Amino acid sequence: MKQYDVIVIGAGNGGLAAAATCARAGLSTLLLERHNIPGGSASSFVRGRFEFEPSLHELSGIGTPEDPGMVEVFFNNLGADVDWCKDRSTFRLVIPAKEGDKDAFLNENGVWVTVDARMPVGFENFSRKLDELVPGSYDSAMAAFGLAEKMYKAFDALGEGDSLGGILKAVKYMPDFMRMTSHTLKEGLDALGMPKKAQDIFNTYWCYMGSPASRFDFLYYMAMLHGYIKNGTGIPRLRSHAMSLAIDKVIRDHGGDIWYNSEVTKVLMKDGKPAGVVVNGTKEVYGKRFICNSAPNFVWNDLFEKKDVPEKQLKMTNARSIAAALTTVYLGMNKTKEELGITDYSVFIAPVSDSDEQFARCHDYFSGYCIINCLNEIIPDCTPKGTSQLFLTSMTFGDVMRGVQPQDYKKFKTRVAKDMIETCEKALNISIQPYIEEIEIALPPTFSRYLNTPQGTPYGYMLDKWDSMIPRTLQFAQDQPFDNFIFCGATQERGDGYGCAYHSGEKAAKLTIQAMKEGN
Amino acid sequence: MASPIKSLDFKRFLPMLKDRQANFAAARADLPAGSDQARVIAKALHPKRQYLKVAAVTERAADCKSFTLVPDPERGTEALAYFGAGKYLTVFETIGGLPVTRAYSISSAPKDALAGRYELTVKRVDGGLMSQYILNNWAVGTPVEVSAPSGNFEYQPLRDAETVVCLAGGSGITPFLSMANAIADGDEDFNMVLLYGSRSKENILFYDELDALTKRTDKVKVVHVLSDEGAANDLPGAEAGFLTAALIQKYAPANAPYSVFLCGPQQMYAFVDKELEQLNLPRKYVRHEMFGEFHDPASQDDYPADVPATVKLTVTVQDETTTVTGSSSDSVMQILEKNGIAVPSRCRSGECGFCHSHLLSGKVYVPKHLEYRRLADAQFGCIHPCCSFPLTDLVLNVPPAK
């Protein structure tokens, strides 16, 4: 029976990155995936004459030729070929006015709003625009971006680091590093004196990581925002499926094996360590080392016998909270974006401006929060002539499904989608529903089905004050369950996001390659 | 002046690492539990396989039977997956030692699934391997293996008009029967105008059931359209001829938008699609159920010349590589199945992508109207074997069927 050097469980972004990195280093690599295509969230699907991007809003890791972003560098290093489309916008935040709002004004769409912020790329431009919207916020925004620039270097030093060495290196680059990582986004911006209203605009991307301003750490938010604002973002021309297939190809070209429709149903133990896996309940495959892109909750419950699970792992999963999930609506429209009156790639519509207040509302089946994206803004020919596609996203906790029975699910989905569509129609003063040619609605059960994550979350565990990115990074080694079994993906140090997941897979692979070299 | 960031206390960082591990240490050491209704719903609606048995057989016509299928707990299926009216089940069979699959629309109501009952209705297809096998072999007690309910041929209130003119031909009535029942049960809400084409009164499937449904709800109207000469004279209210544009206009709402759903044989689509052109309906209002497997690629205008009659396929499934030969007029999926290699399959019409596979070398022909692959698939050599026809010898990777 063949024994692989490394078996990678799950071909999400983390697993793909791990398998590609291992295969390129010459390790005999087997990547196992339960679904019939790679990518997890990084995929696509076809309905009628439309091909939808299922999860990606934009990649902060696509920069400029002179200053390429993390994701671009990762793909270039792998030799994976993807055609990127560059987005030179950031976001537009619209907060519709409620009755009695004293600061309401009529915006360009003819809607009464309290905030309408269309933010440009570039630190200087962004800060000026913020100051225009909320006078007196320029200095604090520039100060925050200044910290982000410095911190970006510290970030690199942390990548590989063990606990102490990592901190020392990071602090050397940036004395304020410890301050930022131990304080929340809100505390950080308060300290810089940013007015609250400006903070609410500044914090618009909080939902990308699923953690609000009073719980998300200042350092990590700035690292993320830095990526989006500095050079703008990018998106693959042929949907995320192209990214995942490009990595799939790298793995195969370097001698790696990929088995689709091949679900790991059990991990086989030998001498207290994983030694193999059972695939689809029948086939045993053996490996020296393992990288796991599946969520620890399910790994411990479904793949291991309880006696073999390290106690600390059980405690870790129980101590952490499952992050929020999403509701998404995909619309193939039989009108162009111009005919529909869509003017922006990405509009965030929020019923309230404060991220914590918004976060608390996400236990409702629909919180009123909705991001509307129009891919044609970046890729004009992504749909046939005379048509366009829209992508609506709302955050919602998986627990909103409590009490919903399978037979009620279809009506429940339609109700949520209707509310989301109407929210966008009202906030932008446009008409959507009469022009829907194709529609698909994804709720937490959809994400649960395709991603196999607890409560359908794509975010992993909540990035909370006590379990934030830097402590996760510094304690990475001691948090792994066995010396030949490393986790990767959204449940790990950097949380969700393509770049974060690729990074986690690459890191797990490098540690695995290192261990193989050392003969362990 | 010191930077305002200095007002944040850096000492707060010091206990962070210790505190995090202390939080872990204080937590329960049980297996992670907690309610996960998202997962419960996902698993209930999308089981990998459903193991059923035939509980009753009803003769519908000389060449058509309905099979009542119930869960078989002994083989691990306790309850049936609920479904939206219009969905199909893929039936997995082994015929003559070889794996075969076919998709059949569920003809029973969604509500019946909650009571542990699906009905599939199978009509004999000339030269149809599966239909003949089922009609000859399935009897009360026969074990049956099916997929989760699948497909996208469903009513969607945010997309479709309030009235749907449903055009059915022959056994294409099955999804509409399910939809009509769902309307009567209050599980779907739209006005159905069913124009059901048959040759004569004797060929109408579910005549009594449809008649009873129109009495249960005024949201379902049924018009039989009989094509044999004089056949319509035998049935009050029936129309003579075919499913024409004029007929659709006669029964469709005059001053309101309406959707048109089609389900029937390939020849019916060819005829009705031409008729629909005259009506100039927006594309969003016309939806076809897939008509099943495509044969005879050489009939297509863009099919290349000089394709060898026999091709060699070298196929790897997980860690097993096999070389087989087959006819270039068969799809890759058919060739593999005829050689005993099961391929993941659901719709067999190109659309669902369940059979997504990697073509490593060689060329295939994909009929244009079955091109449902993702854009990047073409760039990276991925195919849907169910509607890919070999033009040369092929080397490919196919996932296992289970």
pLDDT of residue A176: 85
Q: Could you tell me which chain A residue has the CA closest to the CA of B158?
A: A433
> Between the CA of residue B211 and those of A447, B68, B107, B112, B214, what are the distances in Å?
41, 21, 15, 19, 5
* Cβ-Cβ contacts under 8 Å, A192 against chain B: 4-5
A297 to chain B, closest Cα gap in Å: 6
- Would the pLDDT of A166 be above 80? no
CATH code of the region B163-288: 3.40.50.80
Predicted pLDDT of residue A249? 98
- Confidence (pLDDT) at A33: 98
Beta-carbon contacts of B96 under 8 Å, excluding residues fewer than 6 positions away, are: none
Helix (H, G, I), strand (E, B) or coil at A346: strand
Question: In angstroms, rounded to a whole number, what is the distance separating the alpha carbons of residues A68 and A70?
Answer: 7
* Superfamily of chain region A3-59+239-321+462-517: FAD/NAD(P)-binding domain (3.50.50.60)
Q: What angle do helix axes A138-158 and A123-133 make, rounded to 10 degrees?
A: 140
Rounded to a whole number, what is the distance in Å from the CA of B284 to chain A's nearest CA?
4
Residue in A closest to B354 by C-alpha: A36
Selected residues 191-220 of chain A with any CB under 8 Å from a CB in chain B: 191-193
Question: How many Cα atoms are found within 13 Å in the side-chain-facing hemisphere of A267?
Answer: 32
pLDDT of A54 reads 94
Which residues are bridge partners to B198 per DSSP?
Answer: B226
**Contacting B residues, span 187-206, partner chain A, CB-CB under 8 Å:** 187
Rounded-to-10 torsion of CA A448, A452, A455, A456: -50
Subunit contact B32:A314, Cβ cutoff 8 A: yes
User: Among candidates B378, B373, B394, B400, which has minimal Cα distance to B328?
Assistant: B394
A182, A248, A409 ranked by CB distance to B16: nearest: A182
**Is the Cβ pair B30, A314 closer than 8 Å?**
yes
pLDDT at res. A159: 57
User: Contact at 8 Å (CB) between B83 and B110?
Assistant: yes
Pick from B11, B155, B156 the residue to mutate for testing the A interface (most A CBs within 10 Å): B156
pLDDT tens digit string along A401-418?
Answer: 999 999 999 999 999 999
Residue A173 binned pLDDT confidence (cut-offs 50, 70, 90): low
**pTM confidence score:** 0.96
pLDDT of residue A160: 54
Burial of B80 (C-beta count, 10 Å sphere; 0-12/13-18/19+) = buried
Give the model's pLDDT for residue A88.
86
Q: What is the pLDDT of residues A254-302, one digit of tens each?
A: 999 999 999 999 999 999 999 999 999 999 999 999 999 999 999 999 9
Q: Which residues of chain B have a CB within 8 Å of the CB of A436?
A: 158-159, 284
Who among A258, A406, A475 is closest to B82 (CB)? A406
Pairing type for strands B258-263 and A388-396 reads unpaired
Q: List chain B residues with CB under 8 Å of A140.
A: 4
Which chain B residue has the Cα nearest residue A466? Answer: B20
Please list the residues that pair with B220 across neighbouring strands: B192
Q: What separation in angstroms does the CA of A492 have from each of A10, A61, B107?
A: 14, 18, 47
Q: Is the pLDDT of residue A143 over 80?
A: yes
Going residue by residue through chain B, which has 402 residues, state the pLDDT in tens, using 9 for 90 and above. 568 888 998 889 889 999 999 999 999 998 887 789 999 999 999 999 999 999 999 999 999 999 999 999 999 999 999 999 999 999 999 999 999 999 999 999 999 999 999 999 999 998 889 999 999 999 999 999 999 999 999 999 999 999 999 999 999 999 999 999 999 999 999 999 999 999 999 999 999 999 999 999 999 999 999 999 998 998 999 999 999 999 999 999 999 999 999 999 988 999 999 999 999 999 999 999 987 889 899 999 999 999 999 999 999 999 999 999 999 999 999 999 999 999 999 999 999 999 999 999 999 999 999 999 999 999 999 999 999 999 999 999 999 997
Is B152 in contact with A47 (Cβ distance < 8 A)? yes
B114 touches chain A (CB under 8 A): yes
| Cβ-defined contact of B318 to A447 (cutoff 8 Å) | no
The fold adopted by the segment(s) B297-397 is Ubiquitin-like (UB roll) (3.10.20)
A242, B379: Cβ pair inside 8 Å? yes
- DSSP SS3 for A113: strand
For residue A352, is pLDDT > 70?
yes
In terms of DSSP bridges, do strands A370-374 and A388-396 run parallel, antiparallel, or are they unpaired?
A: antiparallel
Q: For residue A168, what pLDDT is reported?
A: 67
CA B308 to the chain's CA centroid = 32
Whether B5 has its CB under 8 Å from any CB of chain A: the answer is yes
Q: Tell me if A315 and B24 make a contact (CB, 8 A cut-off).
A: yes
pLDDT at residue number A157 = 65
Beta strand ranges found along A17-158 (DSSP E): 29-32, 45-47, 50-52, 84-87, 89-96, 105-106, 112-120
CATH number of B43-146: 2.40.30.10
- Rounded Cα distance between A343 and A329, Å, is 19
Q: How far is A51 from chain B (nearest CA, A)?
A: 7
CB contact under 8 A, A475 and B17: yes
DSSP state of B388: -
Statement: residue A169 has pLDDT above 80: no
Interchain contact B136–A (C-beta under 8 A): no
Find the CB nearest B24 among A280, A319, A446.
Answer: A319
Give the 3-state secondary structure of residue A187. helix
Q: Where in chain B are all domains bearing CATH 3.10.20.30?
A: 297-397
Q: Average pLDDT, stretch A230-238?
A: 95
Task: Say if A438 is an interface residue toward chain B (CB within 8 Å).
Answer: yes
pLDDT score, position B14 = 84
State the pLDDT confidence band at A342, using cuts at 50, 70 and 90: very high
B127 Cβ contact partners less than 8 Å away, ≥ 6 residues apart: none
Interface predicted TM-score of the whole assembly (ipTM), two decimals? 0.96
Q: What is the pLDDT of residue A520?
A: 62
> Which B residues in the span 281-300 are in contact with A, Cβ-Cβ below 8 Å?
282-284
* For B372, nearest residue in chain A (alpha carbons): A46
Residue in B with minimal Cα distance to A313: B29
pLDDT for res A163 = 55
In the predicted structure, residue A152 carries a pLDDT above the cut 80: no
Contact predicate A209/A463, CB 8 Å: yes
Return the residue in B30, B283, B360, B397 with the most chain A beta carbons within 10 A, the one to mutate for interface testing: B283
* Ranges of CATH 2.40.30.10 domains, chain B: 43-146
A456–B42 C-beta distance less than 8 A: yes
Q: What are the boundaries of each domain within chain A?
A: 3-59+239-321+462-517, 124-228, 324-458
Mean pLDDT of all residues in chain A? 94
pLDDT of the residue at A517: 92
Q: Work out the burial of residue B287: count CB atoms within 10 Å of its CB; fewer than 13 is exposed, 13-18 middle, 19 or more buried.
A: buried
Q: How far apart are CA B360 and CA A253, in angstroms?
A: 11
